[in-house]
Structure 1
Amino acid sequence: MADSSSPSINSSRRMKFLKAAFRAMEPPNCFVSLAKQIGGGSITEEVQTYILEHCINNVVEGNAYNSMYVRNILKKIILAAESTSEVTMDGLYEQLTLHMTLQRDEDSLKEKSRIFKEISFLFPGYDDCSDSLDLVFPLQCSLNMLEGDTGCALWPSSLFLSEIIVTYQDTFSNKVCFEVGSGAGLIGISLIRVGASEVVLTDGDESTLANMKYNLELNKLPLETKVLQKTNVVCKHLKWESPSKRELQHYRPDIVLGADIIYDPICVPHLIQVLSILLSGNANDCESTHHDEDQRNNTSDGDVMKVEPPIAYIAQVIRNHETFNYFLKLAEESYLCVVDITEEKQPYNLLPYMLSYDRSSVRLFKVSSLRNCNILSSSAVSIRELRGLP
């Protein structure tokens, strides 16, 4: 994929990166770096005009974005323009003055702990700057991560797994998808948009669950009903330490998903239990498979539908190798096969404007159950390889 400074990318398209970065609330330093890239190394008058007309002015009219963020953007853009350009537009100073007057309200409110972002997936086809090619998901997210509100934040693994879903749409289309630890809901919304037949979103934290439901409504995706004439959406409270085996087996997912769910060694055994239940399927699966094989002898090849066992895709930034190795150990003991497929399953760069997003830090793992009778036990070698065992 070409980066945002590539001459092959249409100029209008590159400008659009600024709007996407602003609405995603990219850190101000990253926003300024992007603006310099687009301006060929400086904050040109053209770039300043675009920022005013398509980013800042829209905020004033709609009052939709955190004003402290807007002030920080304006301050850094003005400093960068003064040092790299011949002209610094008066409109930038005027808008900064306007937003400085809003500060008195923030001094008492201390800024809302939750803010709105828009995550835009910009599809390849840079010669066309049409909005119709893109997916834009508004989300209410948290700024309060240090106070335990991590479930409402957006993490690199969620962005990566969403890129995977949007890139490989056929993999998830018409599938029953079950997400463990759904957080802000970006992955679930992506699944709905690519046409999964059913999407089950779960989280163990009630506050996170409420925020996730709000984000579904924000994207006009009502719960417990058909949306987009295809997808049934279910939102459930699920604590890993006390899962209902019968309830989990009821969903019979084709695909299980999770992003940044391997983080606490105390939670790992419970996570393994949930994955084992979801991936083993119903106790009658093996009998059904043998029955299907018997029927295959009496059915023409063209009429046979192959039933695949459920699999999981887990996107993870490995911050603590000891915790991750513990996950692999328990997975092996529970007859779960874990394979790193990061290199073979690369997504399109659908977030080219998001300079703060380090895609290279995320690994993608495919997990399957060896208890399924049509999975070869020899694949357990993959776990040993991941752990560096002979």
Structure 2
Amino acid sequence: MTNSDELDPSFPPGLHLVSAFLAMEPSDSLISIARACGGGIVSENVQKFIWDHCINQAAAIGYAPYLKNFVKKLIFEVESTHGCVLDELYEHYGYYMTSLKEDSFGRGKACKHISFLFTDGSFELSSCPKSRKLVVPLNCSLNMLEGDTGLVLALAWLELVFLMSKLRSFHLLQVVLSDGDLSTLANMKLNLGLNNISTRMDALEKCDKELNLVKSDTGSNSEVQCIHLSWESAAEAEIQEFTPEIVLGADIIYDPACLPHLVRVLATLLKQRQVTSQTRNSNCQEDILNEGRAEEAENDEQAESMKTPVGYIACVIRNIDTFNCFLDLAEQGDLTITDITDTARPLKLLPYMSSYDPSSIRLFTVTSKC
């Protein structure tokens, strides 16, 4: 591809280049995509596309050191192939050289804009937007820009949500986010706000054990709860109050010292629960009225009334001994761990992201034997 008119930010490969830029992918990855856009070289037309649709839109990123590094490598790439560098790129790099201090590098946080790109085959999913692109801003620490697996697992967690839409038909009435670290919890709340989910101003000033409500701007009655939950100190009665249907976990198998507490929390959350006859009868009546399936409803009413929660875990197995320790403790805690990586991989929604290697992510279901 040699003509910038053929590059469209709404379709690959232009879409992949813009998405990689907004996600703050490594500069070498951006250069590689830019070469593909130019038929093997970063032509003037491709540079113009980058200038118009990436650098000029850089306010969405707001992390100048990243932009400086990318522009520097872009100029070097063009010069190394004896190409002609756009004057705008030289001027922009000169501005960064004179305005940025070296001590501004590597500090604080940056906001990545992650674009989940849905394929034609996923359009029937309820989680697929009409535009077939869902952009999720994520505030993350700058060490994640150097390949930290924390962001990778965060992306895996988000893809787990899309996977649930594929595997199960359910309506989320309530969502609870939890973490044992208050600073991480605060960042989770910040990311909810970045994605148009408002939070109460006094939420983090409350007692650790008190629920922090986060309400959606959509006007619905649904709400997200951000809760400080320490595996080590959480009482069993406190955990039992959650009564979840689905538990999602990402990057939670990492510290052998924490594993006994993790297994205890999972075992408590995933125990089967009795469903009241009132709820069961209501569901049966709804089946009869809405679907005319009286016979099936009668069979359901006669069946043992138990609700079985299920857990889904996405993790990178960094240390096989730690993971085997988790499996042993799970067995002792009457939990069944099943590897579903090969049969239920999430959709490939991040084709432009070289820093995210889905092949390193393992997916597991967790169920209780009790």
Q: Note the residue ranges of structure 1 that are not aligned, 5 or more in a row.
A: 1-8, 176-195, 372-390
Question: In structure 2, what is the Cα distance between the partners aligned to 1:325 and 1:50?
Answer: 49
Matched with 2:114 is: 119
Q: Does 1:79 align with 2:57?
A: no
The corresponding residue for 1:52 is 51
2:161 aligns to what?
165
Q: Aligned partners of 1:132 and 1:12: how far apart in 2? A: 11
Q: Contact 1:113 / 1:144 at 8 angstroms: preserved in 2?
A: no
CA contact (8 A) 1:337 1:369 kept: yes
Change (3 A) 1:85 1:272: farther
- Asked if 1:211 corresponds to 2:187, the answer is yes
Aligned-pair Cα RMSD in Å: 3.1
Counterpart of 2:91? 94
1:315 aligns with 314
Shift of 1:164: 3.2
- The answer to whether the aligner puts 1:222 opposite 2:219 as a matched pair is no
Q: What residue identity is the alignment partner of 1:81? A: V
SS at match of 1:68: helix
Paired residues of 1:67 and 1:102 also in contact (CA < 8 A): no
- Answering whether residue 281 of structure 2 is matched by residue 261 of structure 1, we say no
Length-normalised TM-score, structure 1? 0.75
Whether the aligned pair in 1 keeps the contact of 2:112 and 2:140 (CA below 8 Å) is yes
The Cα of 1:318 is off from its aligned counterpart by 0.3
Is the CA contact 1:227–1:233 (under 8 Å) kept in the aligned structure 2? no
Please tell me whether the aligned partners of residues 78 and 84 of structure 2 are also in contact (alpha carbons under 8 angstroms).
yes
For 2:110, what is the secondary structure of its paired residue? strand
Amino acid at match of 1:113: G
Cα 1:44/1:197, change in 2 over 3 Å = farther
TM-superposition CA deviations, 1:340-370 (whole Å, max 9, x none): 0001102221111101111111100011000
Mapped partners of 2:225, 2:193: distance in 1? 13
Give deviations 1:92-123, integer Å, cap 9, x for gaps: 1111111222213x53x455321111111011
Structure 1 CA distance for aligned equivalents of residues 363 and 60 of structure 2: 38
Displacement, 1:332?
Answer: 0.4
Match of 1:13 in 2: 12
Structure 1 stretch 302-311 or stretch 337-346: which is displaced more?
302-311
1:300 is paired with a residue whose SS is helix
Per the alignment, in what secondary structure is the counterpart of residue 267 of structure 1? Answer: helix
Tell me how far apart the structure 2 counterparts of residues 121 and 133 of structure 1 sit (CA, whole Å). Answer: 8
Aligned to 2:341, the other structure's residue is in SS state coil
Partner of 1:277: 268
More off after superposition, 332-341 vs 137-146 = 137-146
Cα 1:87/1:206, change in 2 over 3 Å: same
> 2-side partners of 1:173 and 1:112: how far apart?
43
> Quick check: 2:144–2:151 contact (8 Å CA) kept in 1?
no
SS at match of 1:365: strand
Q: Counterpart in 1 of 2:242?
A: 251
Deviations 1:17-38 (A, max 9, x none): 1111111111111221222223
TM-score (norm 2): 0.79
Contact 1:167 1:347 survives alignment (8 Å): yes
Please say if residues 14 and 38 of structure 1, whose CA atoms lie closer than 8 Å, have aligned partners that are also in contact: yes
Residue 232 (1) aligns with residue 223 (2)? yes
Q: CA deviation at 1:80?
A: 1.4
- Tell me the matched-pair count: 325
Partner SS state of residue 12, structure 2: helix
What amino acid maps onto 2:260 in structure 1? P
The residue type paired with residue 200 of structure 1 is: V
Q: Secondary structure at the match of 1:247?
A: helix
Identical columns (%): 43
**CA spacing shift, 1:230–1:24, aligned 2, 3 Å:** farther
Structure 2 CA distance for aligned equivalents of residues 231 and 44 of structure 1: 50
Give the whole-Å Cα distance in 2 for the aligned partners of 1:301 and 1:230. Answer: 32
Deviations 1:146-202 (A, max 9, x none): 9xxx8xx74323222322322442556645xxxxxxxxxxxxxxxxxxxx2211000
Structure 1 residues 292, 138: closer, same or farther in 2, change over 3 A?
Answer: closer
Residue 349 of structure 1 aligns to a residue whose secondary structure is: coil
Cα distance, 1:90–1:202 mapped onto 2, change above 3 Å: same
Contact 1:202 1:235 in 2 (8 A): yes
1:69 aligned residue: 66
CA distance in 1, matches of 2:359, 2:257: 27
For the pair 1:301 / 2:296, whether they are aligned, the reply is yes
* Residue 226 (structure 1) shift: 4.7
Task: For 1:256, give the aligned amino acid.
Answer: V
Counting only pairs closer than 5 Å after superposition, residues 149-164 of structure 1 correspond to structure 2 as 154-164=150-160
CA distance in 1, matches of 2:251, 2:156: 11
Say whether residues 1:25 and 2:24 are aligned partners.
yes
Is the 1:253–1:310 contact (alpha carbons within 8 Å) kept by the matching residues of 2?
yes
* Structure 2 alignment gaps of length 5 or more: 1-7, 124-128, 200-212, 285-293
Say if 2:112 and 2:139, in contact at 8 Å, map to a contact too.
Answer: yes
Matches of 1:64 and 1:353, distance apart in 2: 17
Distance, in Å, in 2 between the alignment partners of 1:86 and 1:144 is 34
Amino acid across the alignment from 1:221: I
- Match of 2:24, SS? coil
CA drift at 1:247: 2.5
